[in-house]
């Protein structure tokens, strides 16, 4: 028996596990501490009423012999949900056929699992800082990784370097962790770059619902050329508050490798995944109904207002930051060691955030706050942070 020793090359624990452990140790020593969590990107607002109603109806169906359902007909998801997702794209001006949509338990799993489809002898281009899943899952596979560095100078938005050759490109916009979002023109550069060398773009659009800027696309498929080179990962987690419910989907356009990639993904999923539960799929369908979109938007608007509170406070203090506009994340310059800043905020303000260095070496000196707490706790956290900065 030989272990996959590539696991020795990733950090001992996942970033948010490390944060949870530090928090646990602190609260054990300080049991009365009134902690405000702006760390992990986890939602706090309840599910939209029409989503709850659809879930209860689906549970009742499962408890009745006449309407009970076992395994779903295929791992791609029920037609009712794939049609609702296709209609959601259409309402945003993008044509995606229902049969190009593969429903799953979330974007995180798909972003990691998609690596099964690639030979280990591929070069992967990953921005730094980055959502740790892309990096860790490729290190686990022993792939060659090139970093595309992001700094204050490029506004934490990487641009393609035509001299660099690669096969697989990860992009996330609006970005986790920096909150920066590509404009149409910036995304077009990446698409042209990928198409010029037959590379694939793995595009994480988990935060698309936060986009309000006119020139920022919510889907890579809004941009010409993307259907030949891109796969898009989407999630109901942040859009509809499904972090504890789990449902996402991946779009693989027919044009990508003349359908071979979609067939391989379907084959992979049908072998290793038995589909998302009927109940979750009914809830997701409700989230993309007319009423569901309206109700979910009310929650997103609360988070967007929180983001503005944080961003405005940092602006008034003259602190450089990105995000907070088309994104629930605010990425601020803390200077110095990110973990030291984490400890300072935790111990002096009882506020938890995420150290930028946890997202890559270019994240050192930066810190991420999320807008997912309640408005009152966000305002309280901001006033505490102001006092210790
Ligand atoms: C984060 O805080 O970065 C999120 O938890 C990402 C995720 O949804 O996995």
Predicted pLDDT at 365: 97
Q: What is the mean pLDDT of residues 313-325?
A: 96
What percent of the chain lies above the pLDDT cut of 90? 97
- Which atom of ligand 1 is the closest one to the Cα of 177? 3
Nearest C-alpha to atom 5 of ligand 1 is from which residue?
A: 41
Predicted pLDDT at 14: 84
Q: What is the mean pLDDT of residues 297-307?
A: 98
Q: What is the 3-state secondary structure (H, E, C) of 84-130?
A: HHHHHHHHCCCCCCHHHEEEECCHHHHHHHHHHHCCCCCEEEEEECC
Q: Is 295 in the pocket of ligand 1 (CB under 6 A)?
A: no
Query: Ligand 1 centre and the CA of 327: distance in Å?
Result: 13
Predicted pLDDT at 12: 84
Sorted by where each starts, the structural domains of the chain and their CATH numbers stand as 11-47+292-388 (3.90.1150.10), 50-289 (3.40.640.10)
Among 16-20, 159-163, 187-191, the minimum mean pLDDT is found in 16-20
Q: Is 147 in the pocket of ligand 1 (CB under 6 A)?
A: no
Predicted pLDDT at 73: 87
**Pairwise CA distance, residues 250 & 254, whole Å:** 13
pLDDT, tens digit, for every residue of 25-57?
999 999 999 999 999 999 999 999 999 999 999
Query: Which H or E element spans position 271?
Result: helix 260-272
Query: Ligand 1 centre and the CA of 42: distance in Å?
Result: 7
Nearest C-alpha to atom 4 of ligand 1 is from which residue?
A: 41
Strand partners, 95: none
- Which atom of ligand 1 is the closest one to the Cα of 370? 2
Q: Is 175 in the pocket of ligand 1 (CB under 6 A)?
A: no
Question: What band does 13 get if pLDDT is binned at 50, 70 and 90?
Answer: confident
**Pairwise CA distance, residues 333 & 366, whole Å:** 4
Residue 389, pLDDT > 90, answer: no
Residue 318, pLDDT > 90, answer: yes
- Which atom of ligand 1 is the closest one to the Cα of 40? 2
Q: Is 176 in the pocket of ligand 1 (CB under 6 A)?
A: yes
Q: Is 327 in the pocket of ligand 1 (CB under 6 A)?
A: no
Angle at 221 between CA 216 and CA 226, to 5 degrees: 110
pLDDT, tens digit, for every residue of 182-195?
999 999 999 999 99
**Pairwise CA distance, residues 330 & 320, whole Å:** 10
Global pTM value: 0.96
Predicted pLDDT at 75: 87
Q: Is 158 in the pocket of ligand 1 (CB under 6 A)?
A: no
Angle at 227 between CA 91 and CA 245, to 5 degrees: 55
3 state DSSP class of 265: helix
pLDDT, tens digit, for every residue of 101-126?
999 999 999 999 999 999 999 999 99
Q: What is the mean pLDDT of residues 352-372?
A: 97
pLDDT, tens digit, for every residue of 52-94?
999 999 999 999 999 999 998 888 999 999 999 999 999 999 9
pLDDT, tens digit, for every residue of 218-237?
999 999 999 999 999 999 99
Pocket test for ligand 1, best of 37, 38, 40 (most atoms within 8 A of CB): 40
Query: Ligand 1 centre and the CA of 177: distance in Å?
Result: 9
Query: Ligand 1 centre and the CA of 64: distance in Å?
Result: 36
Residue 15, pLDDT > 90, answer: no
| Average pLDDT for the chain | 96
Predicted pLDDT at 209: 97
Predicted pLDDT at 370: 98
**Pairwise CA distance, residues 36 & 346, whole Å:** 9
């Amino acid at each position: 028996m030989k272990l996959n020793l590539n696991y020795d090359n990733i950090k001992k624990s996942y970033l948010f596990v490390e944060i949870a452990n530090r928090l646990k140790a602190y609260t054990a020593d300080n049991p009365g501490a009134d902690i405000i969590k702006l760390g992990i990107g986890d939602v706090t607002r309840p599910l939209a009423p029409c989503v709850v109603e659809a879930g209860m109806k689906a549970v009742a169906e499962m408890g009745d012999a006449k309407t009970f359902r076992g395994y779903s007909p295929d791992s791609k998801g029920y037609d009712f949900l794939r049609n609702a997702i296709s209609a959601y794209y259409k309402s945003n001006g993008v044509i995606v056929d229902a049969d190009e949509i593969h429903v799953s338990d979330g974007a995180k799993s798909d972003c990691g699992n998609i690596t099964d489809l690639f030979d280990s002898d591929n070069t992967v281009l990953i921005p730094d800082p980055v959502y740790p899943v892309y990096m860790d899952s490729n290190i686990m596979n022993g792939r060659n990784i090139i970093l595309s560095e992001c700094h204050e100078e490029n506004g934490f938005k990487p641009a393609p370097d035509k001299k660099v050759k690669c096969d697989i490109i990860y992009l996330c916009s609006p970005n986790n962790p920096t909150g920066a979002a590509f404009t149409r023109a910036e995304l077009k550069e990446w698409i042209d770059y990928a198409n010029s060398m037959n590379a694939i773009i793995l595009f994480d659009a988990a935060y698309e619902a936060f986009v309000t800027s006119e020139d920022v696309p919510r889907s890579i498929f809004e941009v010409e050329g993307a259907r030949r080179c891109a796969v898009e990962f989407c999630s109901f987690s942040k859009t509809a508050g499904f972090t504890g419910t789990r449902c996402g989907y991946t779009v693989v356009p027919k044009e990508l490798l003349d359908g071979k990639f979609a067939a391989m993904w379907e084959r992979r999923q049908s072998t290793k995944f038995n589909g998302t539960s009927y109940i979750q799929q009914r809830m997701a369908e409700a989230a993309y109904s007319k009423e569901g979109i309206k109700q979910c938007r009310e929650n997103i608007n609360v988070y967007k207002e929180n983001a503005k509170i944080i961003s405005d406070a940092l602006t008034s203090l003259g602190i450089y930051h990105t995000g907070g506009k088309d994104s629930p994340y605010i990425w601020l310059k803390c200077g110095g060691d990110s973990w030291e800043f984490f400890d300072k905020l935790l111990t002096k303000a009882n506020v938890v955030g995420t150290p930028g260095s946890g997202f890559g070496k270019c994240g050192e000196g930066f810190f991420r706050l999320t807008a997912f707490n309640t408005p009152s706790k966000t305002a309280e956290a901001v006033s505490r942070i102001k006092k210790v900065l």
